[in-house]
Amino acid sequence: MTAHSTALQEAERLMTVCNSCRYCEGLCAVFPAMEMRRSFAAGDLNYLANLCHSCGACYYDCQFSPPHEFNVNVPRTLAEVRNDTYATYAWPRPLAGLFRRNGLSVALFAALSVAGFLFGFMALNDPAVMFGTQVGQGAFFRLMPHGAMVGLFGAAFLYAILALFMGLRAFWRDMEARNPLPTDAPSLWQAMKDAGRLRYLDGGGVGCMNADEKPTDNRRIYHHLTFYGFALCFAATSVATLYAYLLDRHSPYPWWDLPVVLGTLGGIGLVIGPAGLFLAKKARDPMMMDETRKGMDAAFLAMLFLTALTGLLLLVARATPAMGTLLAIHLGFVFGFFLTMPYGKFVHGLYRYAALVRYAKERHRELAGH
């Protein structure tokens, strides 16, 4: 076993305590996964930490949670371990420190710098176009050539994908290190279903526990709005890309066209969802939180919220002289979002999915009678 961080040591202690109690085994996947083990290497603990959806039920259901002297606080400890994993597996390694500093200011600074650059670039290029009213097909590209936009954002996006993939690969290898299991389609599908409905954010059925022991489903609803909002926006971009390359149809599209409908619905989800999650976070029992890394969550939610909000504003005001300015700001946020994706809370989605796949595989093996 490698040298453990303080958080890993505490997680290891807790898993020993929890394994001798097991009252929580019906609440989520973490505890059955724990029961399949007697000892816990760092990779195991990192896996369990990313399998935890932080529903909080085990904290309020536990007879040994603080102030009891056994001090069993699974949600907080796994949150600390989980947040550490994001930095541990970051690619390239020297950028791991960004997770620690990835507060709201870093993300906003990146977004506004890019927005400022685009604004200057477009304004200097042709002030008349920038501050005039642009309508009809290709209006956006009168401000910025299509090739430049694709080049800039494509590069940022591809970099983000590469960095995310490398991080995920490192996590996967660590998780599988002690006991590799074959990955099959049913496991991938099972994990997709579990992630898609946030099966383990339901406190075992009644809803998650956030501010106190009274269950509520708020976080799940807001997370759904956020996740599916993001998916719709991603779909809107994908459809628009296909339109451009296959049909030679260029934005802005009329309001009833598919990319706009998808983007609008997604944008609304991405405004309400992150705002709700932020409010839920503010109401959360501080005992369950990793207080040292709240900035990372806030930055991610703020970037999603502002990206969506500027996108919706752009939609509303695209036929006015404000369009150029709003386009610069919106693209700045999109760019900033891409750039910070591999070094912020975005990775939790990938790691949690990977952990769910691992759990589906372990579960399958267990049911097969090992």
Partner 1 sequence: MAASSALGRHWDVLVVGGGNAALCAAIAARRQGASVLVLEAASRFYRGGNTRHTRNMRCAHDSATDTLTGPYSEEEFFDDLLRVTQGHTDEDLARFMIARSKDMLTWITEQGVRFQPSLGGTLSLGRTNSFFLGGGRAMLNALYLTAERLGVEVSYDSEVVGLTLEGGTFRSARVRHAGGTAEVTARALVAAAGGFEANIEWLKEYWGPPAENFLIRGTPNNRGTMLRMLLDQGVKEVGDPTQCHAVAIDARAPKFDGGIITRLDCVVFGIVVNNKAERFYDEGEDFWPKRYAIWGRLVAQQPDQIAYIVFDAKSLTSFMPSLYPPISAPTLEELAGKLNLDPAKFAATVKGFNGAIVPGGSFDHTVLDDCRTEGLTPPKTHWARPVDTAPFYAYPVRPGITFTYLGVRVNEEARMQMADGTKAKNMFAAGEIMAGNVLGRGYAAGIGMTIGSVFGRCAGTSAAAAAARA
Judged by the rule CB under 8 A, the positions of this chain that interact with partner 1 are: 16-17, 19-21, 23-27, 38, 57-58, 60-64, 67-70, 204-206, 213-214
Q: How far is the CB of 207 from partner 1 (least distance, A)?
A: 12
Query: Cβ contacts of residue 55 below 8 Å, gap of 6+?
Result: 27, 28, 75, 200, 201, 202, 203, 208, 209, 219
Q: How far is the CB of 168 from partner 1 (least distance, A)?
A: 32
Q: How far is the CB of 68 from partner 1 (least distance, A)?
A: 7
Q: How far is the CB of 154 from partner 1 (least distance, A)?
A: 48
Gap between the Cα atoms of 369 and 364, Å rounded: 9
HSE, CB side, 13 Å, CA atoms: give it for residue 287.
18
In this structure, how many other beta carbons lie within 10 angstroms of the beta carbon of residue 287? 14
Question: What tokens were used for 260?
Answer: 């706009």
Query: Cβ contacts of residue 267 below 8 Å, gap of 6+?
Result: 229, 233, 308, 309, 311, 312, 315
The residue among 68 and 169 lying less far from partner 1, judged by its C-beta, is 68
The residue among 231 and 287 lying less far from partner 1, judged by its C-beta, is 287
Gap between the Cα atoms of 151 and 253, Å rounded: 21
The residue among 70 and 153 lying less far from partner 1, judged by its C-beta, is 70
Q: How far is the CB of 182 from partner 1 (least distance, A)?
A: 25
The residue among 15 and 122 lying less far from partner 1, judged by its C-beta, is 15
Q: How far is the CB of 177 from partner 1 (least distance, A)?
A: 21
The residue among 103 and 204 lying less far from partner 1, judged by its C-beta, is 204
Torsion of CA 142, 148, 151, 156, to 10 degrees: -90
Going by the DSSP 8-state scheme, the letter that residue 251 receives in this structure is S
The residue among 213 and 291 lying less far from partner 1, judged by its C-beta, is 213
